[in-house]
Structure 1
Amino acid sequence: MENKHWIQGDNVCESPLFRRSFYLEEVPASARLAVCGLGYFLLFVNGERVGDQEFIPAVTNYSSVLGCDTTYPVWEERSGYRCLYVVFDLLPFLKTGENVIGIQLGNGWYHQTKRVDEGKFIFGFPKLRYEFTMTYGNGETVFLESGPETLWKPGEVTEHNLFCGEKLDLRLLQEDWCTGTADLTGWKPARPVHAPEALLTQQNCPADRVLRSITPVLLETDGGRSLYDCGENIAGWVSIRCMGESGETVLVRYSEELDRDGHGLDFLSAGGEGQIQEDCYIGNGSPVVVHPKFCWHGFRYFTVEGPAEVVSASLVCSDIAVTSSFRCSDPVLNWLYEAYIRTQINNFHNGIPSDCPHRERLGYTGDGQLTSETAMLLLDTKALYEKWYQDILDSQGADTGHIPHTAPFLGGGGGPGGWGCAVYVIPWNYYRIYGDTRLLEKGYPAILRWLDYMDSRCENGLVTREEEGGWCLGEWCAPAAEPEMLPAAFVNTYYYIRGLEEAGKIAQLLHRPEPEWVQERIRLAKDAMERTWFHPETGAFCEGIGAADAFALNLGLGNARTKEHLVARYQNLGRLDTGIFGTPVLLERLFKEGEAGLAFQLLTNRGEVSFARMMENGATTLWETWEGTQSHNHPMFGSVVKLLFTEILGIRQKEGGCGYTEYSVEPADIGALSWAEGSVRTKEGTIHVAWKRDEKGTLQITQNEKRKGK
């Protein structure tokens, strides 16, 4: 697609309708339409919806954010800007005679004017570029493109915002607007508009779709207000049938939780009173089934006020298949698997793994790198992570090499290590799961640039600072009751060292020379960590808080007492004291050290800091914090779910292997478990493992694999 001849409505309308009519003497042999409608678009031909894709094109780094209303200063450009277009085959929709292509635009991420967190990012009003190529059997080609021949008018969506919802005035609805019989009164030629200063590329990541419908349960009716429960926390929308007189209003409001008395909505976990998710419909006197067109909501409960009938609730997320299964004799682990899968799918939108589907909706690099291996192993996410890694590369600071906390970069707080390390974690996990080096090859220069950035933020071998005005976080969401968290420099330096070590492995894998500075930087940083935080008499780092000893052991630091101190601390504590980074580091290390029983105890304990607490409080998705004080649809703590497969089922790749071409089955022997079974689908086929404990307590293992071609 050429980046020219863009059109728009005006600088007021947030959801313009466009129509282009053309006459066919005969139907062509092929008809290819490429569309980029920013922020989102819906496509129709001759009055019929084309495709079932929602929220297209996927969000990217559209253009510079310098000058946008960010919550903290941004001083540099990004490394790349791109916009995606989507290609359609229109041949099934064409006919002889007059044909009409109709496109409705919405703000999407391109024109966001309301937001509580992370600032506002306004790149322009909705705009459109399309190219339509028809080819006939004799080789003749007809080409139509966006221009003044395209007509526009405002649509029925009068206000809309990703975070706050939509307002539809059904009195403005022209049902035949993209047919040949439409009344064209009020339609005007489209206006030219400046093309985005970005690369146009075709969208290849999975689009969002309606994945399934749910029949909500009516909890109560109080006057004109009805309260419903979907039975699970979802991302999507509610469809209603407006039944009132012309001008009557219907209001739908959404929340994850009920208030304390159980008769109303509690908005706190999804953005609070300042960012309520709600849709408003103004009736036209006829029964009309409606739902929001250009936004999704994160919710379990909703209320409907006004003359309307509820039709259904819909789960609307990226079209990602579940490629795994798991169950065992422990109810907490069963809940954890199901809750993670549900949470992760709720947070796949627009080709990014978001942090939550409501308050922020951003591709946080910290959350995303933590869950990437688990998501790649348990879900069909290959194309999604290919797209998101390009977003990460595009988001890298053009001057400094800094990897920001979100990709595409749309604000957001974090730290240089646990967030920035996504630049090497994503392609490495992609290689390990899929056996594909393409992302490593594409990202290797960016990885080296990020390592230079981290070096520039070091003092005496430790990473001590990030961008001016930023947060420079280390650990995140540790239990609120803990007296202190790990020092930020400890966590950031850990991820810096791991990045240096991975750079050496990547260089070897790609047959490139290892940069001469890698080993010296590793030595300096490790020496600094031991010098600053290690107590040789006890073997502890940072007195053992927050899994510090597990972090250190992963780097080969400490002495014989370090493992002893690690195990003794958590045997005495009996629970987790860790945040999103320390939790997987701790549990993986305990399994590696042969302490499977202790790791299981921490995973399944039923105290205040536990997954069981979420389960016992009726959660169907994972919470952002152990206390449940923020979002209730955050996948980041779900990074540990991979351990159900690598440790509980024991499906382990050969050391140094990739793509599961070679693996072994070695379940951890955990006395508290009597059986487990599950499967994962790899590029080589599906691996199914089941085991149970016999009368003597011995594990009896059954393995069934279905390899390709067998």
Structure 2
Amino acid sequence: MTVPLGIGDPRPPFGWRLPESVPAQTGWQVQVAGSAEALADGRADLWDSGEVDGDDQHARYAGAPLDSRAGAHWRVRVRDADGSWSAWSALARFELGLLRPGDWTGRWISHPAWYADDVDPRVGEGLPLPLLAGEISLAERPVRARLHVAGAGVYYASINGTPVSDAVLEPAYTDFPRRVAAASHDVTALVRPGANVIGIELGPGIAHVYPHQDRYMKFYGSKLSPRAIAELEVHYAEGSSVRFGTDDSWRAAAGATLRSHWFGGEDYDARRELPGWNEPGTDRSGWTPAVIISGDGPAPVARTCPPLRVVERLPALTRTVATDGTPVFDVGVVQAGLVELSVDLPAGTHLRLVPGDQLDDFGRVVQSKPTTGSPIFNTVITGDGPLRWQPRFRYDGFRYVEVQGLPDHVGPDAVTALVVRADNEPVGTFETSVPLINSIHTIIDRAVQGNMYSVLTDCPHREKLGWLEQVHLLFDVVAYNYDVAAYYRELLATIAEAQTEDGLVPDIAPEYVVFADGFRDDPNWGGVIISVPWQLYRWYGDLAVLQDHYPAMVRYLDYLTGRSEDGLLPYGLGDWIGLDKTTPVPLVGTWGYWRAADAMINIATALGRTDDAERYRALAAKIVDAFRRAFHDPGTGRYGGGGQAAELFALDVGAVPEPDREAVLDRISASVDEAGITVGEIALPVLFRILGDAGRHDVLWRFANRTEHPGYGYQVVHGATALTEAWDGPTRGLSQNHFMLGAIDSWFYRHLAGIGQAAGSLGWRELDLAPVVVDGLDAVTARTRGARGDVAVAWRRDGETFRLDVTVPAGSVATVRLPAWPDAKAVVPEIAEPVTPGADGRPSWLVPAGTWSFELG
């Protein structure tokens, strides 16, 4: 977030990347001032870090206290290895939002028909969705204007008929009664002297899921009925300012959206549109006074990560006709977002839009409980003139849209998919010489996008819930491809908010519905509260995230210990969706318990809590000992039934004695070659990590190219355009947009491309660039962005020649490990320093920042 507006952290973290002229940093200095002019004059009136020794490329604000609405400029300079200081960077600006509930003069308001003092999921059922409008008058044109706004459910805000943002489906998922995400907008260009109107459209979203008799519901219940709070602040040239908040002068009316259900669909009647409803001069005398909601209401808290946006438009490629004559539109790929309908039909034409990601044998959209949920549909009634419509208050996962009631003459341009996701910047690319591998990467990325909403969901239709195992088990897959530094910090806040008083972290966050047994309490879901802070620290080098969440981590591990039995954790969901049913549930739960304890050793050490680290080291050793005693069969030498997952977990926790490791790896490798991968989503990242680190790349490569079940290639050859929920998803059904099996993408980047951090490195200080050459793969080109800048690798082999080009960002160093080719002569850059090869025997060199080429031949 380079120029963030309305952030909620009064001690924001700063980060920077080095210019090419400074390949290595030995010191830094950050200055922060209330104005650009002050910094230009050399006055850091808010904070001057002074000259700090070190190569950290991040710092946390430690200056004068920042309050609500504070705006500041900052800059940084760095010292190179020769002791010379760089010039100051360009200025960047940030501005705080409203930090405390008391900073809002506005009140929570709603349409009276949509509000009740008690939490009632039936409030508003069957009623059109509300519009809210507030008219204000400005004495003159302001020099600065900010609109702070928050809402429960889904809201859209406008000023004088113009949207204040291109964000959609605001606000983010939160525990709505406790916290609602607020946004701040620069609306200086939208307001004008005289009359102005602030308009807010409201929908129930996931905050208020009312019972729906004729459509699909994952659950129903109300966290908070639809409502909004807004604050317009205008500043005039002479220095005065005025605030206008939501109050009892606002008016409410019923809009053209007849109803919206987060899971089941949305109904819209264009004939009910109120032209100019959010513009000055409109007669609102017939509107209903808005109701001020009693009590303090939830706390609006400034958002600290990118919002959801439309990131891609996919016009329908074809318009086909099912055997019964129903028109069906195909946008080409399974994705998540909004169906846009563009038609010009007689007023009163009734249309039903049925989204889905599969077709049946008759050409109709398939909906069922295991796939998308059923029934899900949107309805549209046309008005006079051309109509362009999309759902306002909900979204779908789909590839196909069945439009019932559409005349025959309407062509494929009537339907477009608006792809929506959290607007995290894409930073990763990966391409090889093998089309099948490229397709696997593509469908994984499409599934990540389809579930990268304000939380990481597991599918964008049937569930729309923040199941937590993917958040940490697939962190590398997400982070190789997207900048998620701010996004994951916000996810952590939501996860920590869901933690119960006894320390439990539920399997979903926010916990909109309370599930039972392992579906609420499994260490491989709840362990996210420990794993993600460590992963963020490892990836981005931000120690503050460990400091902020350490108490929650301690409480969770204490909770697990309280539920353990002699070092074992005998409950949970097991290795979810695994094909091998022999893996004991207690073995998988105990692995999750050990993983949490093992991570806490590193976290406590990083925070200087040596006593805690020793305590967790003893706990982890106790768990390993219990694991070995409970799950090792001395007669066969196998673990937990001998399946792939059980033996992988045994290797990972260190229960396998060193002399036996190769034999266990051999058994797993032979099993993968014979039967494919039979593990579930919990063991799958472990498999790619364990076999990859052990150099068993030929086994993994053969699996990657496998086109029979089970295998990624099976999905590709059977038409998957996003990763599916099961290995045989395209032919079995289930969700066609589900990224839980996407762990191979990390192996693609880390090993086929060779992009990784060295052991012990933090924030991409020390890189390990070690591409793997396997039979049948002739070239790989990949790029990602670490905390210090872009890391790129491109390699190609042609006959007996191998060429490798690497880019190392300023502030980093890299060990480049070439393939171990007997009798090959290496041509390396003069600046490269040879280093002792590791256990794999690969010739290795150390290089500084820059772009370098290596050859073998």
Q: Tell whether the structures are fold-level matches, with TM greater than 0.5.
A: yes
SS at match of 2:209: coil
Deviation at 1:407, TM superposition (A): 1.3
Deviation at 1:269, TM superposition (A): 7.0
The 5 Å alignment of 1:549-568 reads 549-559=647-657, 560-568=659-667
Deviation at 1:106, TM superposition (A): 0.9
Cα distance in 1 for residues equivalent to 2:191 and 2:749: 50
Q: What amino acid is the match of 1:561?
A: D
SS at match of 2:611: coil
1:366 and 2:465 equivalent? Answer: no
Cα distance in 2 for residues equivalent to 1:599 and 1:130: 54
Deviation at 1:196, TM superposition (A): 6.3
The 5 Å alignment of 1:396-415 reads 396-398=499-501, 400-411=502-513, 413=519, 415=521
Provide, for residues 443-481 of structure 1, a one-character-per-residue CA deviation record: whole Å limited to 9, x for no partner: 11111111111111112221124xxxxxx21210112xx
In structure 2, the residue matched to 1:317 is 421
Which blocks of at least 5 consecutive residues in structure 2 are unaligned? 1-97, 115-123, 812-848, 851-857
Q: Which has the larger radius of gyration?
A: 2
Aligned length: 679
Question: Normalising to structure 1: TM-score of the pair?
Answer: 0.91
Greater Cα shift, 439-448 or 13-22:
13-22
Q: What amino acid is the match of 2:504?
A: H
1:119 and 2:219 equivalent? Answer: yes
In structure 2, the residue matched to 1:354 is 457
In structure 2, the residue matched to 1:676 is 780
1:285 and 2:384 equivalent? Answer: yes
Match of 1:453 among 547, 552, 559: 559
In structure 2, the residue matched to 1:614 is 715
1:92 and 2:227 equivalent? Answer: no
SS at match of 1:542: coil
Cα distance in 2 for residues equivalent to 1:241 and 1:607: 41
In structure 2, the residue matched to 1:394 is 497
Q: What amino acid is the match of 1:135?
A: H
Cα distance in 2 for residues equivalent to 1:195 and 1:153: 23
Cα distance in 1 for residues equivalent to 2:128 and 2:503: 35
1:589 and 2:693 equivalent? Answer: no
Cα distance in 2 for residues equivalent to 1:371 and 1:664: 20
Match of 1:235 among 327, 331, 336: 336
Cα distance in 2 for residues equivalent to 1:431 and 1:591: 23
Match of 2:318 among 200, 218, 222: 218
In structure 2, the residue matched to 1:570 is 669
Provide, for residues 575-631 of structure 1, a one-character-per-residue CA deviation record: whole Å limited to 9, x for no partner: 101110111111211111121111222233222110011001110111111121311
Cα distance in 2 for residues equivalent to 1:694 and 1:287: 58
In structure 2, the residue matched to 1:149 is 249
Deviation at 1:118, TM superposition (A): 5.3
In structure 2, the residue matched to 1:506 is 603
In structure 2, the residue matched to 1:705 is 808
Q: What amino acid is the match of 2:109?
A: I
Tell me if the contact between 2:108 and 2:297 (Cα under 8 Å) persists in the aligned partners.
no
Provide, for residues 371-413 of structure 1, a one-character-per-residue CA deviation record: whole Å limited to 9, x for no partner: 2122112212221111111011001112x10111111122352
Tell me if the contact between 1:610 and 1:626 (Cα under 8 Å) persists in the aligned partners.
yes
SS at match of 2:526: coil
In structure 1, the residue matched to 2:530 is 424
Deviation at 1:107, TM superposition (A): 0.8
Tell me if the contact between 1:549 and 1:562 (Cα under 8 Å) persists in the aligned partners.
no
Q: What amino acid is the match of 2:684?
A: T
Match of 1:685 among 786, 789, 798: 789
1:244 and 2:345 equivalent? Answer: yes
Q: What amino acid is the match of 2:648?
A: A
Provide, for residues 265-293 of structure 1, a one-character-per-residue CA deviation record: whole Å limited to 9, x for no partner: 11137755x63331111222332211110
Which blocks of at least 5 consecutive residues in structure 1 are unaligned? 64-80, 466-471
1:536 and 2:642 equivalent? Answer: no
In structure 2, the residue matched to 1:72 is none
Cα distance in 1 for residues equivalent to 2:133 and 2:450: 34
Cα distance in 2 for residues equivalent to 1:573 and 1:500: 29
In structure 2, the residue matched to 1:66 is none
Q: What amino acid is the match of 1:639?
A: A
Provide, for residues 513-568 of structure 1, a one-character-per-residue CA deviation record: whole Å limited to 9, x for no partner: 33264233223221211111112344321132132222111111112234313323
Cα distance in 2 for residues equivalent to 1:124 and 1:14: 18
Match of 1:255 among 348, 352, 356: 356
Tell me if the contact between 2:136 and 2:244 (Cα under 8 Å) persists in the aligned partners.
no
Greater Cα shift, 375-384 or 4-13:
4-13
Tell me if the contact between 1:255 and 1:270 (Cα under 8 Å) persists in the aligned partners.
no
Greater Cα shift, 299-308 or 516-525:
516-525
1:50 and 2:164 equivalent? Answer: yes
Deviation at 1:185, TM superposition (A): 4.4
Deviation at 1:39, TM superposition (A): 1.0
Tell me if the contact between 1:418 and 1:495 (Cα under 8 Å) persists in the aligned partners.
yes
User: Percent of aligned pairs with the same residue?
Assistant: 27
Q: What amino acid is the match of 1:458?
A: S
Match of 1:637 among 733, 741, 753: 741
Deviation at 1:58, TM superposition (A): 0.8
SS at match of 1:581: coil
Provide, for residues 648-692 of structure 1, a one-character-per-residue CA deviation record: whole Å limited to 9, x for no partner: 111221211111111121122323322222111222121111222
Deviation at 1:438, TM superposition (A): 2.0
Match of 1:108 among 205, 209, 215: 205
Cα distance in 1 for residues equivalent to 2:756 and 2:273: 57
Tell me if the contact between 2:495 and 2:505 (Cα under 8 Å) persists in the aligned partners.
yes
Cα distance in 2 for residues equivalent to 1:514 and 1:219: 66
Greater Cα shift, 172-181 or 291-300:
172-181
The 5 Å alignment of 1:155-170 reads 155-170=255-270
Q: What amino acid is the match of 1:454?
A: L
Q: What amino acid is the match of 2:284?
A: L
Cα distance in 1 for residues equivalent to 2:338 and 2:780: 36
Cα 1:143–1:224, aligned 2, differ >3 Å: closer, same or farther?
farther
Cα 1:48–1:224, aligned 2, differ >3 Å: closer, same or farther?
farther
Deviation at 1:221, TM superposition (A): 3.2
Q: What amino acid is the match of 2:522?
A: P
Cα distance in 2 for residues equivalent to 1:520 and 1:683: 33
Structure scoring higher RCO (CA < 8 A, sep ≥ 6) equals: 1
Cα 1:377–1:514, aligned 2, differ >3 Å: closer, same or farther?
farther
Q: What amino acid is the match of 1:56?
A: E
In structure 2, the residue matched to 1:330 is 434
Cα distance in 2 for residues equivalent to 1:268 and 1:505: 45
SS at match of 2:505: coil
Cα distance in 1 for residues equivalent to 2:427 and 2:618: 42
Greater Cα shift, 236-245 or 603-612:
236-245
In structure 1, the residue matched to 2:94 is none
Deviation at 1:415, TM superposition (A): 4.5
Cα distance in 1 for residues equivalent to 2:421 and 2:718: 25
1:435 and 2:535 equivalent? Answer: no
Deviation at 1:368, TM superposition (A): 1.7
Deviation at 1:45, TM superposition (A): 1.2
Q: Tell me how large the CA RMSD over aligned residues is.
A: 2.1
Deviation at 1:195, TM superposition (A): 4.8
Cα distance in 2 for residues equivalent to 1:569 and 1:270: 31
1:176 and 2:288 equivalent? Answer: no
Cα distance in 2 for residues equivalent to 1:362 and 1:414: 13
The 5 Å alignment of 1:514-525 reads 514-515=611-612, 517-525=615-623
Cα 1:699–1:457, aligned 2, differ >3 Å: closer, same or farther?
farther
Cα 1:514–1:504, aligned 2, differ >3 Å: closer, same or farther?
farther
Greater Cα shift, 251-260 or 17-26:
17-26
Greater Cα shift, 502-511 or 116-125:
116-125
Deviation at 1:247, TM superposition (A): 2.9
